[in-house]
Amino acid sequence: MSVTIEPATTPIEPATTSFDPTTTVDPDRFRGLLRHQAAAVAVVTAAGDPPVGFTATSFTSVSLHPPLVSFCVAQTASSWPGIARAEHIAVHLLDRDQDEVARIFATSGIDRFASGAGWSAGPHGVPVLHDVLAWLVCRVADRITAGDHDIVLAEPVAAGHSTGGQPLLYHQGRYAVLRDDAAPRHPGQP
């Protein structure tokens, strides 16, 4: 099979801003730029006494063979010591109606597991949240230090999901949901 790549018919315009490869983007500007990326909201949990958990928007799939996922956690996060010791963790994709669960697990200084989010001990004793869109219990495969965060690579060993629902998203510093395309639209509504 042969593939031919045609040249672009529209010329690419040069950037109108200058680029200085010796400078970096400051953290505040970087955070502001990343607010433009919509991300699924997940909660990561690990067993412990007490168990730990936090809200993450950095969850992603990494590999199919073998199955691997990843998420990032700040080394200063209150959950980091528990995640750093854990052999198994759970990742929960939150449903569109679980913004309060996301807020609970994003709040420092509280017992996140006593604050209204239903859960039970799952495989390997890892806390599994109730009524989520999907969940994975994973074996921690590696932790990689990256700046002020650690990237956790994990291999799913058990999973479950709901039969319906939509994901909770995070965009522009707030929780958001997908527009329900089945809802009737009014003239002039996007």
Q: What confidence tens digit (pLDDT) does each residue in 102-111 have?
A: 999 999 888 8
CB within 8 Å of 67: residues ≥ 6 apart: 155, 156
- For residues 130-142, average pLDDT: 97
One-letter amino acid of 93 = L
Q: What is the pTM of this model?
A: 0.80
Amino acid letter, 91:
V
To the nearest whole number, what is the mean pLDDT of the chain?
86
**What gap in Å lies between CA 61 and CA 69, rounded to an integer?**
4
Least Cα distance to 125 among 162, 83, 156, 90 occurs for: 90
Domain boundaries, the chain: 37-161
DSSP string, 156-185: EEEEEE-SS--BEEEETTEEEE---TTSPP
Q: In terms of CATH, what superfamily is 37-161?
A: Electron Transport, Fmn-binding Protein; Chain A (2.30.110.10)
